[in-house]
């Protein structure tokens, strides 16, 4: 699978089979993902991979907690601004509509929406999960580094025939995760990631993307209307004396 194919086929899968994920495949992916870029090569990611009975225990604890209506843990970072401006708010709303329409859930059916959300903490049936932490003392640039690392992992998983679903929802039950994983003090749980083989029986809608000219601006001589001025001409004008 080439890079373009990996990018095109990667998506947030929300339905996995129970087929075990080979440990060797996970080790290959994470060893290669360590080559992800980070400022001054500080590699700010702290990753836990959970499978087997320990993952089953974590799923059970998280699902029961959510099903019982226990209050969320306060996130240690802001997921979205309080007022999400245009066009980001419209894109977020469109995603929600597409997501629940694919499941046949009406907007006003709050109970069905809650049941669908609970599937997050069952990892959508995936037999493997990854939890990524970042040190509390690191800054915005390091959070960006972690994002590049996670994207690299998701693309490499495609090369192994695996799918994934990154889930910031796990930060809402971060204390439950910590009870099972016992991370060192000072780490913030950024997200979890479900990993496994896709269940083709689960319906989904491929989410759209904004057109290129909405998010990308090409700046060149032709598009900007600027004239190419030779260095020698500028020098002769006396501007660089």
Would residue 234 count as lying in a domain? Answer: no
Determine, yes or no, domain membership for 195: yes
Domain assignment of residue 232, yes or no? no
**SS3 assignment, position 190:** strand
| Mean pLDDT within 96-110 | 64
- What confidence tier does 110 reach under pLDDT thresholds 50, 70, 90? low
What span, in angstroms and rounded, lies between the C-alpha atoms of 120 and 96?
Answer: 15
Q: Would you say residue 168 lies in a domain?
A: yes
The answer as to whether 231 is a domain residue is: no
* Residue 241 forms part of a structural domain: no
Rounded Cα distance, 190 and 46, in Å = 10
Q: Is residue 38 part of a domain?
A: yes
> For position 114, what pLDDT does the model report?
65
In a domain, 226, yes or no: no
Q: How many domains, in total, are found in the chain?
A: 1
Per-residue confidence at 108, pLDDT binned at 50, 70, 90? low
**Predicted pLDDT at 140:** 96
| Measured CA distances, 211 to 4, 214, 215, 217, 223 (Å) | 18, 5, 7, 11, 18
pLDDT recorded at residue 220 = 85
Residues 32 and 151: their CA atoms lie apart, in Å, by 12
Out of 24-28, 52-56, 188-192, 232-236, least confident range: 232-236
Q: pTM to 2 decimals?
A: 0.86
Residue 240 pLDDT greater than 60, yes or no: no
Helix (H) or strand (E) holding 196: strand 187-196
Angle at 55 between CA 52 and CA 60, to 5 degrees: 125
User: What does the pLDDT look like over 22-40, one tens digit per residue?
Assistant: 999 999 999 999 999 999 9
Residue reference for tokens 């998983």: 157
pLDDT band for position 205 (cuts 50, 70, 90): confident
Confidence at 136, pLDDT banded by 50, 70, 90: very high
The percent of residues above 70 in pLDDT, for the chain, comes to 85
- Contact between 192 and 165 under an 8 Å Cβ cutoff? The reply is no
pLDDT for residue 106: 60
pLDDT above 90 (res 100) = no
> What is the maximum span of the chain, computed from C-alpha positions, in angstroms?
78
- Residues with Cβ within 8 Å of 73's Cβ and at least 6 positions away in sequence, in order, are 171, 172, 173, 174, 175, 176
153: CATH: 3.40.109.10
Q: Quick one: pLDDT at residue 19?
A: 97
Cβ count within 10 A of residue 172: 22
pLDDT digits (tens, 9 = 90+) for 167-201: 999 999 999 999 999 999 999 999 999 999 999 99
Domain of residue 13 covers 3-210
- What percentage of the chain carries pLDDT values higher than 90? 68
Q: Which of 22, 18, 20, 2 is nearest to 10 (CA)?
A: 2
């Amino acid at each position: 699978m080439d890079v373009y194919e990996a990018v095109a086929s990667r998506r947030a899968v929300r339905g996995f089979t129970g087929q075990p994920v080979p440990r060797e495949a996970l080790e290959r992916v994470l060893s290669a993902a360590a080559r992800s870029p980070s400022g001054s090569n500080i590699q700010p990611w702290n990753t836990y991979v959970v499978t087997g009975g320990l993952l089953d225990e974590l799923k059970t604890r998280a699902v029961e907690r959510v099903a019982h209506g226990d209050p969320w843990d306060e996130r240690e970072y802001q997921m979205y601004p309080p007022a999400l401006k245009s066009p980001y708010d419209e894109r977020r709303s469109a995603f929600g509509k597409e997501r629940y329409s694919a499941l046949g859930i009406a907007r006003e059916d709050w109970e069905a929406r809650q049941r669908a959300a609970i599937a997050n903490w069952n990892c959508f049936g995936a037999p493997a999960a990854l939890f990524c932490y970042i040190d509390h003392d690191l800054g915005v640039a390091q959070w960006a580094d972690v994002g590049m690392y996670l994207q690299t992992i998701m693309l490499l998983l495609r090369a192994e025939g695996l799918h994934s679903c990154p889930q910031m929802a796990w930060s809402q039950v971060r204390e439950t995760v910590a009870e099972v994983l016992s991370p060192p003090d000072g780490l913030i749980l950024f997200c979890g990631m479900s990993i496994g083989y896709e269940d083709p029986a689960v319906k989904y809608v491929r989410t759209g993307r904004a057109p290129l000219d909405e998010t990308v601006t090409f700046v060149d001589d032709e598009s900007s209307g600027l004239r190419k001025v030779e260095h020698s001409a500028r020098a002769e004008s006396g501007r660089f004396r």
